[in-house]
Structure 1
């Protein structure tokens, strides 16, 4: 970039272009939402069959196009705003130098050199003549270090010689003109650096000329995100970062204090981090986490395809019992294939969970199912998946379901469906808005034995659970007027108990199902009102009784919630075993009694819950009845 170009440059034009891309991104976002929430949902609601399923696939691809467009437009807008920011800084330097030149009656030429008039004491009877001087960017603090002079010693010497020449020049205007020319050169150099940095980066922000957003496109989008994030560091330095370790209320206040451009930049450049912040609106977390999901899912699919192409030969070698001499009948798979199979499983299993999340997105509208909100996602470790049915910010009743042992991203499909069944059951009981959330937001014990015998997993999850609930209450538009129910299964009940021991649980009701122990010995210790702890223990649930309880939470509490001494409302059930509490007959659109009672609690219809008296029969009791009086 030269002086004339920078002089005529208008940084606002880049900002205007950024606004145009932001509008385009907003249009793409709205189109995606319309496809998912209206077109697809409407089809799912009124039509069924293979043709509908195929149409949904095509609409999903179209929605993916709009989502990709939205992400790329946000990156382009952020890049253009960064260009404007850097060029404006250079332009300000240039304009200030030109003004100073005019004030001293110097002339700035088209090549950036500065001419100065004759001045000074006469020499040999003549006033020292004027002239022109070309500046240098030497000494510009924004200038990259010369690789052959990394310490800038040569530049320092050059500047010292320049100052000596100025001080000894007969014309005092020479030194002043040279200083201004250097400032001009530095401004031009700064603008040139911005141009050289952003021109190639902006050229990268384009998609393939086709109608399919392939896995490669999403991987490229993540690379683009990294490039823009590094380039926009100076631009974003003026934007306040989220509070480190902030509370949900602090996170919410930070978000509200950002401008629209700053919000767009954070969503575009930090989707994974932003999606984890409790207290932010569910729609914001959903947008950020869907981007993280799309990019991660693409990465995993490409890795899986690569592994499948490179599958080692499945050699089988025959060994004797000592592993020495090959003999007939004894076979051992090669170690190379075992390593390949292990690596493949570590990729394929989390992908099942990501596909389950996408499948839930695609089911929006099916039997009236509302839009899903992805409020948490990560593929690290055992993974995270927090998925809401309906927007919890707008809900009058919110239920958070916490699964137990074995819960992970890989195994999330069943738990996601339980959240769906909870929504269908509870929403059918009220005209108010209901949101049910599957919360796989902690590292659950991988196996029943010995992992579930430890309370460490619950202790580690307690703070995360508390933060999430606080975030729901902060973001909910009804605030403290919304009704929140904690629903937990198996080891998940232990998590609730551990969270209650940390302080304010932040919920109105607690529902346990198949609990092996909740870390507390009395319902009164669960930090909810008297009579607002509910428990289900189904016939044949061996993980609550006898050896099952002690292999699935031994020592977690001395009294399990199914014991009348615990003080919970013991709800009747009609399901069997440890995993049937959320059974729902889709063909008849009929919930089991077990999940129906959970729904009654979720919507606050306590007097419709049938409780168990001590003699084993069923009895309808008002919710305010003292649990200790059962059978009296």
Structure 2
């Protein structure tokens, strides 16, 4: 870029183009939502058969295309805003240099050189002549302990000062200063142009109508490239508070402009999606992008795993001469290198399909409201999925359901179904109120019953649950000015997590205290690590418990097993009368039946969720 180009540059034109791309992104987002919430739902209600299924699959592909456009155009918009920011900084330096030079009666020429007039003390009876100088840009500092660029700058500055001091015309040194400032501004603009040109060229889609896994992987690579180029642009945006509380996070987000919010969602989707206190809509938008990218990456990684060898075992002589079967060398090599990772990939992909299925069920015959993906990370051990049915930020009543032992991302579909049923029953009980039900898999649950004898899983999960609940309240208060009514429901070991959460603390609140909920409901609990309902901090009149079946059933074994290994605090479990909770009917036999349709257990949970305490059926 030369001087004339920079002088005539209007960074606002880039920002205007960025606004256009963001408008396109927003339009694509609204089109995607219309497909998910209205068109696809109506199609499922009115059409059946193979043709309907094929048409619905096409709509789903179209929805993904719109999401791809939404993400890519948002990325282009952020890139253009970052480019405009860099160019505006260079232009501002140029304009300041020109203005300062003209104030000292120096002339800036069309090529960026600076002319200076005659001046100074006469030499041999003559006033020193005027002239023209061309500036030089300084090297940028690398930040290294021994910085070649900085050293070169020091030498150049010293030479300029020496030349200026020796020159008989005092205007000469001033002209050199302004010419260098002009050259530096042009150099910085040139660097910005060279940095952004290839990044912007890369932000283009294939020439087909199919959004493939490779397209989403390319989007992720594009994001990394734009993020590296937009460092200065991001640095000028107020950063999120370090280890901030959910309330501080909410205040930070509220203080950003829409462009700044769009930039964070585009360039830091994983971080935004996991930040407690931010609006549900923002977290959902960010997590959906992360979901599509990770789904593509996992699919491609799974395809790259070699086929499992057909021959798994060979027979060798064992001790005593008896034959034993062992892995073949080929299978053993494959198994120890690929088996665990393949199982994780398959489980995570199953979980992602369950999440997509929940998205697809918006509207339809059940009239389920929109879904919000509030947390998603397939890489963390058992995986993390936090998903709401209905917007918790504006709900009158919110339920947070914490699942128990054996829950992981691959099995999350069943728990998402439970969240749907809770919403449907609550909505049926109180159709005039806004309800949101959240499935919270924000921890590593025990993988088997023997593991559930230990409190360590609950203790590790407790502060994360507290932070999420604090974030839910902060986002609700930011949206409505009040905190609404929240019911925390724990199934089996999930209730142990809740009990530990009441005793936990966080970096932003070392004293802990009562959880920000109105009611706590334990179903099939093996113990909550407290001896009495009043120890949960919200008053025993707002603690509810129920059990399934009679003596000898799987629910009985869970409860009694928890009592024996010490999960029951002082030996009490929530369904003991001396624990002090409201004991309510369930009408179910199995440990996992509390969320079956048309059950007393489901109706009782809905009654507590909606604050309809007079509708609760006691045991």
TM, length-normalised to structure 2: 0.91
Structure 2 distance, partners of 1:174, 1:202, is 42
In structure 2, relative to structure 1, the CA distance for the partners of 1:259 and 1:547 (3 Å cut) is closer
**Residue of structure 1 equivalent to 2:487:** 485
In structure 2, relative to structure 1, the CA distance for the partners of 1:209 and 1:119 (3 Å cut) is same
Indicate yes or no: 2:513 matched with 1:513.
no
Structure 1 distance, partners of 2:226, 2:294, is 18
In structure 2, relative to structure 1, the CA distance for the partners of 1:430 and 1:184 (3 Å cut) is same
How far did 1:596 drift?
Answer: 2.0
In structure 2, relative to structure 1, the CA distance for the partners of 1:552 and 1:49 (3 Å cut) is farther
How far did 1:550 drift?
Answer: 2.1
**Residue of structure 1 equivalent to 2:295:** 297
In structure 2, relative to structure 1, the CA distance for the partners of 1:542 and 1:560 (3 Å cut) is farther
Structure 1 distance, partners of 2:173, 2:335, is 75
**Residue of structure 2 equivalent to 1:448:** 449
How far did 1:256 drift?
Answer: 0.9
Structure 1 distance, partners of 2:80, 2:530, is 56
**Residue of structure 1 equivalent to 2:440:** 439
What are the within-5 Å matches in structure 2 for residues 211-610 of structure 1?
A: 211-307=209-305, 310-311=306-307, 313-316=309-312, 318-322=314-318, 330-333=325-328, 334-339=331-336, 340-366=338-364, 367-379=366-378, 380-431=380-431, 432-449=433-450, 451-476=451-476, 477=479, 480=482, 482-502=484-504, 503-539=513-549, 542-546=553-557, 549-550=560-561, 554-557=565-568, 558-584=571-597, 591-610=598-617
How far did 1:286 drift?
Answer: 0.8
How far did 1:59 drift?
Answer: 1.5
**Residue of structure 2 equivalent to 1:625:** none
In structure 2, relative to structure 1, the CA distance for the partners of 1:95 and 1:479 (3 Å cut) is closer
Deviates more, 1:108-117 or 1:250-259: 108-117
Structure 1 distance, partners of 2:537, 2:179, is 72
Contact 2:108 2:115 in 1 (8 A): yes
Contact 2:548 2:556 in 1 (8 A): no
* Structure 2 runs not aligned, ≥5 long: 505-512
Structure 2 distance, partners of 1:46, 1:227, is 45
Structure 2 distance, partners of 1:529, 1:316, is 59
How far did 1:371 drift?
Answer: 0.9
Deviates more, 1:72-81 or 1:165-174: 165-174
Contact 2:35 2:63 in 1 (8 A): yes
How far did 1:547 drift?
Answer: 7.5
Deviates more, 1:504-513 or 1:119-128: 119-128
**Residue of structure 1 equivalent to 2:193:** 195
How far did 1:323 drift?
Answer: 9.2
Structure 2 distance, partners of 1:219, 1:296, is 8
**Residue of structure 2 equivalent to 1:63:** 63
How far did 1:152 drift?
Answer: 4.5
Runs (4+) of structure 1 exceeding 4 A deviation are 143-146, 477-481
Contact 1:448 1:552 in 2 (8 A): no
Structure 2 distance, partners of 1:111, 1:552, is 85
State the Cα deviation string for residues 359-410 of structure 1 (Å, max 9, x = none).
1101111321111111111112211101111111222221111100112212
Contact 1:573 1:594 in 2 (8 A): yes
State the Cα deviation string for residues 578-620 of structure 1 (Å, max 9, x = none).
1111112xxxxxx2222122222222232333222xxxxxxxx
How far did 1:570 drift?
Answer: 2.2
Contact 1:353 1:411 in 2 (8 A): yes
Contact 1:389 1:423 in 2 (8 A): yes
Contact 1:43 1:365 in 2 (8 A): no
How far did 1:282 drift?
Answer: 1.1
Structure 2 distance, partners of 1:255, 1:324, is 71
Structure 2 distance, partners of 1:481, 1:195, is 48
How far did 1:531 drift?
Answer: 2.9
In structure 2, relative to structure 1, the CA distance for the partners of 1:518 and 1:117 (3 Å cut) is same
How far did 1:483 drift?
Answer: 2.3
In structure 2, relative to structure 1, the CA distance for the partners of 1:53 and 1:371 (3 Å cut) is farther
For residue 507 of structure 1, give the secondary structure of its aligned residue in structure 2.
coil
State the Cα deviation string for residues 470-522 of structure 1 (Å, max 9, x = none).
22222225555622211111001111111223421222222211111111222
Q: Give the alignment partner of residue 169 of structure 2, picking from 150, 164, 171.
A: 171
Deviates more, 1:186-195 or 1:388-397: 388-397
For residue 410 of structure 1, give the secondary structure of its aligned residue in structure 2.
helix
In structure 2, relative to structure 1, the CA distance for the partners of 1:16 and 1:481 (3 Å cut) is closer
Structure 2 distance, partners of 1:176, 1:57, is 70
In structure 2, relative to structure 1, the CA distance for the partners of 1:501 and 1:544 (3 Å cut) is farther
How far did 1:321 drift?
Answer: 4.0
How far did 1:143 drift?
Answer: 6.2
**Residue of structure 1 equivalent to 2:509:** none
Contact 1:402 1:489 in 2 (8 A): yes
Contact 2:563 2:572 in 1 (8 A): no
How far did 1:53 drift?
Answer: 3.0
Structure 1 distance, partners of 2:312, 2:196, is 55
State the Cα deviation string for residues 110-142 of structure 1 (Å, max 9, x = none).
22222223333444444333222211113x5x4
How far did 1:170 drift?
Answer: 3.0
In structure 2, relative to structure 1, the CA distance for the partners of 1:364 and 1:546 (3 Å cut) is closer
Structure 1 distance, partners of 2:313, 2:609, is 59
Contact 1:455 1:553 in 2 (8 A): no
Contact 2:141 2:149 in 1 (8 A): no
Give the length in aligned residue pairs: 599
After superposition, the CA RMSD in angstroms is 2.4
**Residue of structure 2 equivalent to 1:617:** none
